[in-house]
Chains A and B, each alone.
Chain A
Amino acid sequence: MAGNEPILRAVGISKSFPGVKALHDVNFTLCAGEVHCLMGENGAGKSTLIKVLTGVEKIDHGEIYLEGKSILPKTPLEAQAFGISTVYQEINLCPNLSVAENMFIGREPVSGCVINWKEINKRAQAALSKLNVKIDVTQSLDTYSVAIQQMVAIARALDVSSKILILDEPTSSLDRDEIDKLFEVLRRLKEDGIGIIFITHFLDQVYEISDRITVLRNGELVGEYETSELPKVQLIAKMIGKEFDVLTSFNKGNAASAKGCEEDSLCNDAAFIKAAGLGRQGGISPFDLSVRKGEVLGFAGLLGSGRTETARVLFGVDKADKGELYIKNKRSAVASPMNAIKNGMAFCPEDRKREGIMGDLTVKENIIIALQAKRGMGRCISAKEREKLADKFIELLSIKTSGPDQLVKNLSGGNQQKVILARWLATDPELLILDEPTRGIDVGTKTEIQKLVVRLAEEEMAVIFISSELDEELRTCDRIAVFRDRQKIAEISGEDLNQNCIMQTIAGGQKHA
């Protein structure tokens, strides 16, 4: 497999966006007839690399060679002409058109000056049957399941050009059966000599399908490895950038999950919130979880492992379809964020630009808004009280702003984050959920926020702290719940609370270690 000729070579690729170095001197080689996984955490540069290869973004430095010839695709269309096709996670087809038309639009066979629909349908049927998909191609695409739509996208990509196929998170909305079918197809394509770049967050799938792995971190190349020679734990270590100490892991790793659960059951009485078998189809498998007052519970796991999904279910953003939730030992139906807020919960979402900050409102208004929602729209918060609250939190969190009437969009990322924190602290919550509160902010502010979290816990607040950075979790959390593949797989606490043990758990036991 790996002995094959390299079909695509990217050498010394660099790409900067304003203020960010997305890729720095990255090399990447894809061989014909292999499945090559591109791995890395959020912001590692995976998607930028794909965009560069497919002509969506221009490179600053570096060269791309296709079968030894230097190429520079400027648009996705040009990349297609070179033989590079991409199938995205969000299926980029038109749901209103027929399956056949989706495969041939833009390059329809024309006889005279009339589109030849018969020919289109015939060729679509043939292309799909190569992938073992037998459907009525004249039906509109949206009558079929996501898995079929994915197959149609792949069939289109292969029919357009078939040297290199890039699959960006193709499995995230498929179930196990559908994934098996997809992998079957990929194996067949591999035999035909097509080079496949595969991006996924599911580690098991990486080991199931890939021949080689390239790991990126912070826009830099970590290395290229044969999948069979890279244990899972090592892969995770490379992705998150921590060395894994194999010797110490063995004695500590085993006891991890058992101990966590034990401790959990002892403290049930003091739990502020307790979930029993709570779950949501397509979001997170049923899980048990409890958080005590004055405790910081961390959620660890790779991106897409189900951390955020769990938080959203707890807060009622996504409705749970299984299990029960108890707040202060009382059965509760958290059906909406409003309900959760009334029950003393607060949630700082991951994407502060989209889900948190209202940039065109002032710092003061942003701080007040959740409190206003909690009290009800009818009840006024007096101007004096608003002023007092805003001043209090600006001082407490040392938000750098020219005053409470500054527009939030003019603040730096770290200070915006603090404003969101202030917003929820103003509601005086008993449980605070923080989803990636320190992403994209400077080190100084990071430390401040971590300190604040610890202090809040000391003041008897329950905190759920979600972060991709293990360091940060270890520094702030009393207990860490570990997630993998949309499942809560373990809780770790006490002396097991160290990097090796967590990485071991994320990797899933000793299988590859």
Chain B
Amino acid sequence: MKKPQLSSKHVPLAITVLLFVVLFTAGAVKYPAFLSMQVFFNLFIDNAYLIILAIGMTFVLVIGGIDLSVGSVLCLVCMASAHLVENKGMNPYAVMVLMVLIGAVYGLIQGSLIQFFKMQPFIVTLAGLFFGRGAAAWISIETINITNKTYNDIAHYRVHLWGDNFISIGAVIALVVLVLAIYIAHYTKFGRSAYAIGGNESSAMLMGLPVARTKVLVYTLSGVCSALAGIVFSFYMLSGYSLHGQGMELDAIASAVIGGTLLTGGVGYVIGSLFGALTQGIIQNLIMFDGTLNSWWTKIVIAALLCVFIIIQRLLVARRDSQKAKGNVKTAL
């Protein structure tokens, strides 16, 4: 049997999990109110949309791409849902299905442009970012509040766990997406192809993997995740507004990177992105509990964390390279 050892790819993930635990413990020590299961569950409730976005983003980053449109798609979905439910009187469930379809098509178009016209993912999804927000503002510049009864019932529904603890429907959706994503990433051919493409695209091609299809599907998956996050966000806010979710694409990228995903592709874990998103949430909570600090301090702390994590990743790569150069690599030949 082999010894359980921490490969350098797992180190950032381990650090993130550890950091999360440390932050939670620190909060519990300092603020007695912090130490309750509900505070923990609230992290899922308050960050469900971010978790879903970060999961979709993880796949995109794993193939070495980027998707800047996710925040705008989330905003567009919120706005379109609010408009269709409130002003057009559509059935909320039908609207949700429609929104997921819109998200899929959005991602499909972006992925196809990137793959078949050999365009830069950055530019294509930047256009997607502008388009989504523009379209949301075109539907309405004013906030549309969602007053529909069914919608409000879903939004306020509490899934009771043990004791007095509960989570929202949004959090349940996030957890389902998480489990599905882990399955897709590690136990399906599609998921493994995505990792292979991120490792070396031309090799993946020569090994006979469906590179084009996988890449387009990854962007489609990210689009679907954005739409789901949009629906979850609309439960959370119960309104559509053209400035919803501004800069959220960057929060999603930050979550993935803090969770150990490399922007160069090939390395990343869905579970890491979960902890990346939760860590951002807990920092926000701690600053809120403190009460004296401006909420923008969250951003400053996240900035510092990102720096630290990128440096750690760089150091790990450098260390492994130098080990290799010294010939310390296993040569079993």
Instruction: Decide whether A and B assemble into one complex.
Output: yes
Hey, which bits of chain A sit against chain B, CB under 8 A? Answer: 75-77, 80, 88, 91-97, 101, 105-106, 108, 110, 113-115, 132-136, 138-140, 142-145, 147-148, 151, 156, 177-178, 181
In the complex, are the beta carbons of B200 and A94 less than 8 A apart? yes
Q: Tell me if B207 counts as interface (CB < 8 A to partner A).
A: yes
Contact mask B99-120 → A, CB, 8 Å, 1/0? 0000000000000000000000
Flag the segment in B51-59, B190-198, B251-259, B274-282 that touches A. B190-198
Report the stretch among B36-44, B86-94, B238-246, B325-333 that lies at the interface.
Answer: B325-333
Q: Are B200 and A101 in contact (CB under 8 A)?
A: no
Residues of B within 8 A of A108 (CB): 189, 192
B208 contacts A106, C-beta separation under 8 Å: yes
A94: chain B residues at CB < 8 Å are: 195-196, 199-200, 203-204, 266
Q: Which of A76, A110, A135, A181 contacts B206 (CB 8 A)?
A: A76
Q: Please tell me which one of the listed residues A92, A96, A133, A147 contacts residue B207 in the complex, with CB atoms under 8 A apart.
A: A92
Residue contact A95 to B207, C-beta cutoff 8 Å: no
Contact A144 B329 (CB under 8 A): yes
Give the docked Cα–Cα distance between A75 and B267 (Å). 28
Check A145 against B331 for contact (C-beta < 8 Å). yes
Contact B209 A105, beta carbon cutoff 8 Å:
yes
Which 6 residue pairs spanning A and B have beta carbons closest together?
A94-B199, A96-B266, A96-B199, A77-B208, A92-B203, A114-B187
List the A side residues contacting B327 at CB < 8 Å: 145
Are the CB atoms of A178 and B208 closer together than 8 Å?
Answer: no
Whether A148 touches B331, Cβ cut-off 8 Å, given contacts A94-B200, A139-B7, is yes
Measured CB to CB, the residues of B under 8 A from A are 2, 7, 9, 183, 186-189, 192-193, 195-196, 198-200, 202-204, 206-209, 266-267, 320, 324, 327, 329-333
Q: A77-B208, A92-B206, A106-B189 are in contact. Are A97 and B333 (CB under 8 A)?
A: no
B residues within 8 A CB of A76? Answer: 206, 208
Given A105-B193, A140-B7: A135 and B203 interface contact (C-beta under 8 Å): no
| Option from A105, A115, A181 in Cβ contact (under 8 Å) with B187 | A115
Bound CA span A177–B193, Å: 34
Is the pair A115, B189 in contact by a Cβ cutoff of 8 Å? yes
Task: Decide: A92 near B202, CB < 8 A? Known: A97-B195, A101-B192, A143-B330.
Answer: yes
CA distance A136 to B199 in the complex (A): 20
For the A-B complex with A94-B266, A106-B207 known, give 10 more contacts whose Cβ atoms are closer than 8 Å.
A76-B208, A93-B207, A94-B195, A95-B266, A96-B267, A105-B193, A105-B204, A108-B192, A138-B2, A144-B329
A-B contact pairs, 11 of them (CB 8 A): A80-B208, A106-B208, A106-B209, A115-B187, A135-B332, A145-B327, A145-B329, A148-B330, A148-B333, A151-B333, A177-B333
CB distance from B10 to the nearest CB of A (A): 11
Q: Which residues of A contact B193 (CB under 8 A)?
A: 105-106
Q: Are A147 and B333 in contact (CB under 8 A)?
A: yes
Residues of B within 8 A of A88 (CB): 206
Contact of A93 among B188, B195, B200, B267 (CB under 8 A): B200
> Contacts of A114 on B, CB cut-off 8 Å?
183, 187-188
